[in-house]
Amino acid sequence: MAPSIRLSPAARSLFDEPLAIAVQGLGPRQQVTLRASLRDETGELFQAAARYQAGDDGQLDLARCPALPGGSFSGLEPMGLLWALQPRRPFWRLVKRDVQSPFVLQLEVLEGHGEPPGRLLAQAQHERAFLRDGVRRVPVRHGSIRATLFLPPGNGPFPGIIDLYGTGGGLPEYRACLLANYGFAVLALAYYGYEDLPREMKEFHLEYFEEAVNYMLQHKQVKGPGIGLLGISKGGDLCTSMASFLKGIAATALINGSVANVGAVLRYKDITIPPLGSSWKRIKVSKSGIADIVDALNNPLEGPDQQSFIPLEKAECRFLFIVGQDDHNWKSEFFAVEGSKRLQAHGKEKPEIICYPGAGHYIEPPFFPMCAASMHLLVGKPVTWGGEPKAHCEAQVDAWQQIQAFFHKHLTGKPSGTSSKL
């Protein structure tokens, strides 16, 4: 019997779902290299490879068989071929630009453990999709809002969430649509660097975000009385500001967010919050030219920088802080702890803080490979984001469950299944 790759689900799965990979028809204890590759929409190649030895029966199941040293990972890692994918091009991050098309994953079984490995024994293709059947993608150009709304199948109403990304700008949709697959109405909201929105991060007006909140609160398919906010990085401090000043927010989840306003002036009515100061002198640059910016920002508890601390004690919502303890973008754990202290000092409920050792800044939905370093728009050179690939991947899987459970609890009043803390 010729070797063949067996996948479950066979042809297509959602990107955030596990994929079972097995090889049958090998010789007893045969040594092989498994290689995974995919190209992003710009044509950049991502690859991972691992060395295995088949069982006495010629079977190889990645859920039961550990990878041997010498590849992209070792040990028992059923999803290692996906989370260990690395770009050929340095400082390149895997993102999904068009959520309506899947990523196509190529899997190959190659003979032996050589460098390069031997002849091709078997191959398979698998689609990693972003939209579950029936989920609707609705472009939103309403007033000044530039966004995309994802609605689950059916008439709803569904718990509503606004999703914000960081300083990369544009309109990333992939996290919003993956979340909509689980029964949420999710608005991916652009706020700069997109269509007719401001081209640069100079100043933001909270009225724009208020318009988006009201759009969701008035939508027939969005369940009231309040909506949720989900933000990563700069999107996190914008969500904190929205929760602090705007009505109708019931739950706010921050992924490596800041409790100080960062990078641009924030204005709302007659209120102005200046950006937290920083010093370029505190940036360390390695011999390879990669910057570590973790110490660049000033402390928002000291001197004039206290003006930048967002008054999150004004918020009438519940908070969840997701923290990568190896975040090298900024001090996420410090921000979460100070946010918690501020809330409790004003008699507010203690927020939930979930810390992940070994996780870096870009905590994405499950199975996105960790990006160790990439170009930073504001710094103008590649920066290190922190994280250790295996720990970071485990954090992404757990955080995704925690975020969904948090929103189910505070937007619908129903817990969703069981959630595990790492």
Question: pLDDT value at position 418?
Answer: 43
Q: Which two tokens stand for residue 48?
A: 């991972």
255 near 233, Cβ under 8 Å? Answer: yes
40 carries an active-site annotation = no
* Average pLDDT of adjacent 10-residue blocks, the chain of 422 residues: 96 98 98 98 97 98 98 98 96 96 98 93 98 97 98 95 95 98 98 96 97 98 96 98 98 98 97 97 93 97 98 98 98 98 97 98 98 89 96 98 98 63 42
Give the burial string for 164-186 (b: 16+ CB within 10 Å, else e). Answer: bbbbbbbbbbbbbbbbbbbbbbb
CA atoms within 13 A on the CB side of 158: 24
Pairing of strands 352-356, 318-324: parallel
3-state secondary structure of 282: helix
3-state secondary structure of 249: strand
Question: pLDDT value at position 61?
Answer: 98
Superfamily of domain 4-129: Acyl-CoA thioester hydrolase/BAAT N-terminal domain (2.60.40.2240)
Q: Which of 327, 340, 376, 398 is catalytic?
A: 327
166 near 233, Cβ under 8 Å? Answer: yes
Q: Which two tokens stand for residue 98?
A: 């068009």
392 carries an active-site annotation = no
Q: Which of 13, 72, 233, 258 is catalytic?
A: 233
Question: pLDDT value at position 91?
Answer: 94
Chain centroid offset of residue 211 CA: 25
205 carries an active-site annotation = no
Q: Evaluate whether the domain defined by 136-412 bears CATH number 3.40.50.300.
A: no
Model pTM score:
0.96
> Domain-by-domain residue ranges, the chain?
4-129, 136-412
Question: pLDDT value at position 95?
Answer: 95
Question: pLDDT value at position 415?
Answer: 65
Q: Which of 113, 126, 361, 376 is catalytic?
A: 361
